[in-house]
Amino acid sequence: MTDRIGARLDGYDAVVYDLDGTLVELAVDWDAVAEAALDVYAEHALIPPTEELWKLLGAADEYGIRDEVEEAIAAPERAGARDSARLPLGDRLAAGSAHPPAGVCSLNCEAACRVAVETHGLGDALVSEAILGRDSVGSHKPDPESLLAAIDRLGGTPETALFVGDSRSDAVAAERGGVDFAWVSDLLAE
């Protein structure tokens, strides 16, 4: 990492990164994934409560189709992780400069996170036990549970950790968890 980014991270005991849009860009057609999730509802003769992907996943429990909807989303995520592109912050993380222990908290499934980490050589920069996806704990962003679990696995506390992300959901998860937040764009601009 550059000296400026390293200096920004020096005050923290743990850093957690979002994955997609922060470290890598998954090669996923999210509109097609939403259609696949809608197809699961149709296959079960169910009227979907929405067409928004993450709300379809959230409602799937009520309809008894959680596993099928999860797989309709996870399969293209895993493939997209293999075909993903590493972003500038991922490049800097892979370069191996000294930094606090780091992990991942992603709305993507954990398997896709691990595929992307392996594909882009980020494994040495991240603590394996602190790579968490939406299916790693009982909830997903913007609920802070997975973020807090990643911080705990890094040996940090919310007060001494930083979450770096690219979406409003990331910022909300950090706020709800009492964790400092940095936009990836701001971190790279420093």
pLDDT of residue 7: 61
| Residue count of the chain | 190
Range of the domain at 17: 3-25+86-189
What tens digit of pLDDT does each residue of 20-63 get? 999 999 999 999 999 999 999 999 999 999 999 999 999 999 99
User: Which residues are CB-neighbours of 172 under 8 A, at least 6 positions away?
Assistant: 141, 142
Look at strands 24-25 and 85-86 and give their pairing: antiparallel
- Interval 134-166: pLDDT, tens: 999 988 899 999 999 999 999 999 999 999 999
Residues 49 and 11 occupy one common structural domain: no
Phi/psi for 16 (5° steps) reads -120, 135
pLDDT range class, residue 190, cuts 50, 70, 90: low
Same domain assignment for residues 123 and 171: yes
Banded model confidence at residue 3, pLDDT cuts 50, 70, 90 = very low
Q: Do residues 177 and 158 both lie within one domain?
A: yes
Q: Do both 116 and 162 map to the same domain?
A: yes
131 and 55 in a common domain: no
| pLDDT at residue 138, rounded to an integer | 82
Kindly give, in sequence order, each residue whose CB lies less than 8 Å from that of residue 147, ignoring residues fewer than 6 positions away: 16, 105, 141, 163, 173, 174, 177, 179
**Domains identified in the chain, total number:** 2
Q: Any idea what the CATH number is for the domain that residue 148 is in?
A: 3.40.50.1000
